Amino acid sequence: MAILVDKKSRVMVQGITGGAGKFHAKRMLEYGTNIVGGTSPGKGGTSVEGKPVFDTAFECVKETGADTSVIFLPAPFVKEAAIEAIRAGVKLVVVIPEHIPIQDMMLVRKEAVKHKVTVIGGNTAGIITPGECNIGIMPDIAFAPGRVGTVSRSGSITYYVADTLTRTGYGESTCVGLGGDPVLGSTFDEILWMFEEDEKTRAVVMTGEIGGVYEERAVDAIKKMKTPVIAMIGGIFAPPGKRMGHAGAIVEGKMGTAKEKLEILAAAGAHPAKTFLDIPEILKILKV
């Protein structure tokens, strides 16, 4: 089993004729991802990598049975594309672009909740279930099938954690990139509950970063989970007021520091890790 995506996922690429969409569609197909079509207004009837292109998400879903969408479009067009995909009937939308306007993302999340659709991103590297499905821009070389789930706000940290798990023989069940924008489609607690219900996932590595309160919101979930959670926070040495890459990764005053986040998560029952190499050592103690 896995969460969110597997070899049966039927993927639609919104923006498939653009530079990024075309490039990553090819990569995803080479990995084995089941891409069934794509969209690009005005280019319906053409094809990319042998996959049909439609003018709208509604047409693509109707003709191909797509149940998952990945968006490769400029930020100003994401809201319209995501809401169209949600209303067309997909159950998962992955928003790759960054700097999505806050109000736009709030409207997308509202629509997703209404239709019971999961949205990942914006500013996400995507999702990968190793050996089955890679959606987004994740470099597949770091991943291998296994028993540890990961969820992170940072794409690069996702790769490093996966590489650590792969090299130490644990592998990954599914790796989820929440995204680095201030307003996200999904939160840590929502993804943690999915892993809790997955029989294949024996433990979860949750990696956050400075700024915001997404990590703190996971406390109630961690307290109730039987699946052990390892928590690591990027930016532990970042000074107050320092922005660390993502739009959502900035410390304001004493709120949102790595030290504070790690202490809160540990108090809830998570196993704190300060470095990547701590992770396999904790898993060994937990006998995962």
**CA within 13 Å, CB half, 15:** 24
Give the pair of three-digit tokens for residue 249: 């990764």
| Tokens read off for 180 | 């680095």
Where does 95-147 have alpha helices with state H? 102-115
Q: Residue 149 is encoded by which pair of tokens?
A: 């789930």
| Whole-angstrom distance, CA of residue 209 vs CA of residue 193 | 20
φ, ψ dihedrals at 276, nearest 5°:
-60, -35
Cβ atoms of 216 and 179 closer than 8 Å: no
The b-or-e profile of 63-85 (16+ CB within 10 A means b, else e) is: ebebbbbbbbbebeebbebbbbb
Q: Cα–Cα distance between 38 and 53 in angstroms, integer?
A: 5
Active-site residue, selected from the candidate residues 24, 99, 115, 246: 246
Strand partners, 70: 13, 94
Q: Which residues, including other chains, have CB under 8 Å from residue 122's CB and lie 6 or more apart?
A: 75, 78, 95, 96, 97, 98, 99, 100, 105, 179, 181, 184, 185
Q: Is 246 a catalytic residue?
A: yes
Q: Three-state DSSP class for 283?
A: helix
DSSP state of 216: G
Cβ proximity of 95 and 120 under 8 Å: yes
Are 243 and 235 spatial neighbours (Cβ–Cβ below 8 Å)?
no
Structure tokens at 214: 């997404």
Any idea which residues carry the catalytic annotation?
246
